[in-house]
């Protein structure tokens, strides 16, 4: 439908672990005109998305020209450890942490040096043996080779072999990260591969729902650095949208609060994220995003993420209260979703105190999902067969047996999304305290009473302790983020101690999320700061999906190689390392000229995917020289290109530029002749950042 900017609207959608939020913003003045929240449906989000959009103004929906999406689903998948199984192949000599948590992996001979020269022949037979052994129990493969950002030959040879042997998706480290750090690139590729089925299912759901309504808008997705990209591109690289939800919350908080500089605490159902916007731009991480303990090479928000949200499981053991790390359905909500659940809850199963763990709790229940089981072992099949379509406790499941199932078996079924858990949560605690009344408070009160008995206190005090612990963890994450490098143990000592002093925060702290207003006063007791939750804070992520400017950052390195003799000042040549490979030059000035022109070209091509023309983008270039001695020719020159959209996302859509320019210039053809023996056909793609 054609419409003028005065009568056009943009639709922002955020699919979180608990709620799916939708918001309509008027193009003419950027005002929020209506919003709606609906429960995210698990494991298929389609019904939640449908209900969320259904709550918006029907007539205004017909005038939508842009749909922009953000999500915490990928982040939550990593935090909860529910990603799909992946085989990881490391090429070269790596130091792999003993507690890496990676199950199916192998390290083989191969790799290159910092100049892109092969240091050892690739051991393809070892790769083939490993792939054939595990191909039936993984959904994808990830590959990382030493210095693949200097020469991706070995990664690409392994990728070709795996595709020939299995036909499964293969993700290479050099496709996702340009910075050095082979193991971290491997982790990035590994997590990306885990997320491929999750991303594909989610994004196809969005497209299907929009088409079903007869709409024909431009559909985009917010990335973790605050930029937007087409849905097709987002499906290939879901790791780059792993923090699109937090990026949206950051931009949304700034937009709703009117603060160009502020710290943001976004409390979701599964996680709590702390980030910073400075002078209207997200504070980005130089080291790469860290999520769930994984260090990646994805350039994203600098943020602090913890597996603590409104739907995090509250459980007790040895007299202590624990939060998370897994998300569960709150008792108050389960009582509404499942008619007979109150009767099950009132049975009041009291497990042995000595046997308490995350799953053996008086308030923990399990239910089957609609996910179809694949490749289960005997123990998993036996346990899954005992779990029904109505919530049951472990006592109900194993009523005629003397032993309970091993924790690892239930963990596996939850990870494979075959079983969903129900339990007590911070949301339940707020229901007991009367500070949130969305669902069935009686169920929350029963659960609080059961857990409080294990601690030896009454249920009100138990819920106040949960609320204090939640706020304390929020404060800890905020201070750890703002005081980067300070030992977290020392921060916790300050927060837990009884001192005549406390932390002071010099910038506003904006809270986003459902019932975050309940934590404002508690947080102020812990830190000296201006803390508030703006209007529409409960749908801030959906607002943020539409609120930010598109940005893109690219790095290109020019390195001069000298002969080994210190008396010979002649160079052996100059290499230009770009996101899509390397190129050799004899004359340094030509290498520098190529690097700068090609970097600008990449920026404009990437931004074109968001519908921007060259005159709508400002490209800033930083140039850093590295010299051994003053006055010498630099041994390395690093170019940092940053493209910033001159207009916001509303104006981008109206430009009508929805496709990338297909007229590749001479610079592009030069890249296809990059000095890389087996690089194959390289393309200018965001996949290679």
Contact call for residues 268 and 512 (beta carbons, < 8 A):
no
Paired tokens of 460: 């009100």
Buried/exposed code over 479-507 (b: 16+ C-beta within 10 A; e: otherwise): bbbbeeeeeeeebbebbeeeeeeebebee
Quick check: do 5-79+199-260+542-547 and 82-195 share a fold? no
Q: Residue 638: helix, strand or coil by DSSP?
A: strand
- Helix axes 244-257 and 540-547, enclosed angle (nearest 10): 90
Paired tokens of 119: 């240091």
Q: Where are the strands (E) in 239-355, listed by range?
A: 262-267, 272-278, 281-282, 290-291, 294-295, 304-306, 312-317, 320-327, 329-330
The pLDDT value given to residue 416: 83
Contact call for residues 15 and 73 (beta carbons, < 8 A):
yes
Predicted confidence band of residue 399 (pLDDT cuts 50, 70, 90): low
pLDDT at 387 over 90: no
Contact call for residues 148 and 678 (beta carbons, < 8 A):
no
**How far, CA to CA in Å, does 414 sit from each of 47, 81, 401?**
21, 9, 22
CATH number for region 5-79+199-260+542-547: 3.30.420.40
Backbone angles phi, psi at 367, to 5 degrees: -145, 145
Distance CA 505, CA 222 (A): 29
Distance CA 619, CA 604 (A): 8
As a 3-state breakdown, the chain gives helix, strand, coil percent values, each rounded to 5, of: 40, 25, 35
**How far, CA to CA in Å, does 337 sit from each of 313, 341, 390, 570, 668?**
18, 8, 10, 75, 56
Looking at beta carbons, which pairs linking 93-100 to residues 24 or more positions away fall under 8 Å? 93/146, 94/146, 94/182, 94/183, 94/186, 95/183, 96/183
pTM over 0.75: no
Distance CA 62, CA 67 (A): 12
pLDDT at 677 over 60: no
Contact call for residues 36 and 20 (beta carbons, < 8 A):
no
Query: H helices within 261-324, ranges in order?
Result: none
The pLDDT value given to residue 124: 95
Neighbours of 474 (CB within 10 A): 25
Q: Residue 664: helix, strand or coil by DSSP?
A: coil
Edge-to-edge strand list for the sheet holding 581-585: 581-585, 571-578, 551-562, 636-645, 617-626
Q: Which of 281, 289, 331 is nearest to 311 (CA)?
A: 331
Q: Among 322-336, 447-461, 569-583, 633-647, which is the least confidently predicted range?
A: 569-583
Backbone angles phi, psi at 436, to 5 degrees: -155, 130
Tokens 């999320």 appear where? 513
- For the residues 347-368, what does the mean pLDDT come to? 84
Paired tokens of 314: 């509250």
- For the residues 98-105, what does the mean pLDDT come to? 80
Instruction: For the chain, give the mean pLDDT.
Output: 81
Q: Which of 233, 226, 224, 176 is nearest to 203 (CA)?
A: 233
Domain boundaries, the chain: 5-79+199-260+542-547, 82-195, 551-688
Backbone angles phi, psi at 606, to 5 degrees: -65, -45
pLDDT at 597 over 70: yes
pLDDT at 581 over 80: no
User: How far does the chain reach from its first CA to its final CA, in angstroms?
Assistant: 36
Model confidence pLDDT, tens digit, residues 302-345: 877 787 888 999 999 988 899 888 889 999 999 999 989 999 89
Q: To the nearest whole percent, how much of the chain has pLDDT over 90?
A: 28
Distance CA 451, CA 468 (A): 16
Contact call for residues 491 and 483 (beta carbons, < 8 A):
yes
Q: Among 475-484, 597-606, 652-661, which is the least confidently predicted range?
A: 652-661
Give the fold, CATH level 3, of 82-195: Rossmann fold (3.40.50)
- In DSSP notation, 326-339 reads EE-EEHHHHHHHST
The pLDDT value given to residue 547: 73
Q: Among 88-97, 124-133, 558-567, which is the least confidently predicted range?
A: 558-567
pLDDT at 668 over 60: no
């Amino acid at each position: 439908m054609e419409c003028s900017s005065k009568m056009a609207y943009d639709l922002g959608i955020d699919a979180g672990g608990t709620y799916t939020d939708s918001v309509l913003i008027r193009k003419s003045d950027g005002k929020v005109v209506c919003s709606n929240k609906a429960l995210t449906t698990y494991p298929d989000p389609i019904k939640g998305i449908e209900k969320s959009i259904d709550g918006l103004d029907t007539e205004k929906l017909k005038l939508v020209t842009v749909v922009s999406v953000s999500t915490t689903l990928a982040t939550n998948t990593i935090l909860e450890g529910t990603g799909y199984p992946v085989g990881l192949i490391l090429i070269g000599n790596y130091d792999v942490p003993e507690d890496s948590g990676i199950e199916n992996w192998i390290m083989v001979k191969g790799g290159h040096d910092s100049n892109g020269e092969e240091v050892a022949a690739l051991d393809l037979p070892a790769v083939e043996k490993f792939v054939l052994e595990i191909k039936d129990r993984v959904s994808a493969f990830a590959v990382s080779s030493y210095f693949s950002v200097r020469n991706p030959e070995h990664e690409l040879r392994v990728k070709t072999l795996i595709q020939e042997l299995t036909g499964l998706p293969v993700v290479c480290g050099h496709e996702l990260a340009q910075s050095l750090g082979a193991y971290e690139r491997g982790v990035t590729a590994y997590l990306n591969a885990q997320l491929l089925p999750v991303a594909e299912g989610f994004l196809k759901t969005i497209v299907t729902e929009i088409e079903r309504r007869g709409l024909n808008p431009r559909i985009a997705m917010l990335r973790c650095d605050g930029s937007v990209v087409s849905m097709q591109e987002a499906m290939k690289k879901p790791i780059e949208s792993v923090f699109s939800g937090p990026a949206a919350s950051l931009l949304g908080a700034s937009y709703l609060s009117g603060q160009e500089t502020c710290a943001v605490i976004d409390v979701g159902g599964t996680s709590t994220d702390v980030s910073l916007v400075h002078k209207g731009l997200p504070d980005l991480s130089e080291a790469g995003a860290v999520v769930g303990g994984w260090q990646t090479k994805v350039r994203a928000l600098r943020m602090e993420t913890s597996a603590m949200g409104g739907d995090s499981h509250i459980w007790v053991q040895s007299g202590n209260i624990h939060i998370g790390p897994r998300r569960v359905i709150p008792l108050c909500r389960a009582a509404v979703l499942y008619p007979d659940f109150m009767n099950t809850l009132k049975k009041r199963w009291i497990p042995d105190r000595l046997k308490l763990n995350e799953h053996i709790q008086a308030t923990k229940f399990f239910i089957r999902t609609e996910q179809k089981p694949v490749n289960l072992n005997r123990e998993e099949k036996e346990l899954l067969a005992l779990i029904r379509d109505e919530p049951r406790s472990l006592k109900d499941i194993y009523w005629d047996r003397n032993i309970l199932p091993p924790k690892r078996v239930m963990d596996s079924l939850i990870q494979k999304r075959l079983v969903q858990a129900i339990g007590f949560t911070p949301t339940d605690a707020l229901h007991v305290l009367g500070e949130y009344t969305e669902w069935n408070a009686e169920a929350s009160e029963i659960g609080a009473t059961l857990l409080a008995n294990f601690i030896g206190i009454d249920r009100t005090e138990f819920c106040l302790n949960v609320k204090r612990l939640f706020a304390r963890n929020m404060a800890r994450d905020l201070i750890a983020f703002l005081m980067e490098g300070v030992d977290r143990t020392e921060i916790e000592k300050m927060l837990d101690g009884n001192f005549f002093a406390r932390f002071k925060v010099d910038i506003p702290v904006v809270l986003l999320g459902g019932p975050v207003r309940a934590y404002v006063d508690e947080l102020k007791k812990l830190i000296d700061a201006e803390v508030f939750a703006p209007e529409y804070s409960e749908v801030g992520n959906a607002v943020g999906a539409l609120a930010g400017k598109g940005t893109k950052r690219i790095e290109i390195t020019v390195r001069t190689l000298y002969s080994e003799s210190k008396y010979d000042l002649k160079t052996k040549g100059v290499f230009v390392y770009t996101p899509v490979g390397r190129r050799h030059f004899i004359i340094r000035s030509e290498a520098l000229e190529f690097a700068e022109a090609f970097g600008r070209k990449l920026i404009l091509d990437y931004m074109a995917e968001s519908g921007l023309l060259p005159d709508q983008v400002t490209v800033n270039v930083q140039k850093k020289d590295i010299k051994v001695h003053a006055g010498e020719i630099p041994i390395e020159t690093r170019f940092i290109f940053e493209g910033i959209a001159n207009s916001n996302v509303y104006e981008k859509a109206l430009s009508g530029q929805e496709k990338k320019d297909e007229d590749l210039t001479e610079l592009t053809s030069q890249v296809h002749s990059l000095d890389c023996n087996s690089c194959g056909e390289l393309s200018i793609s965001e996949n290679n950042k």
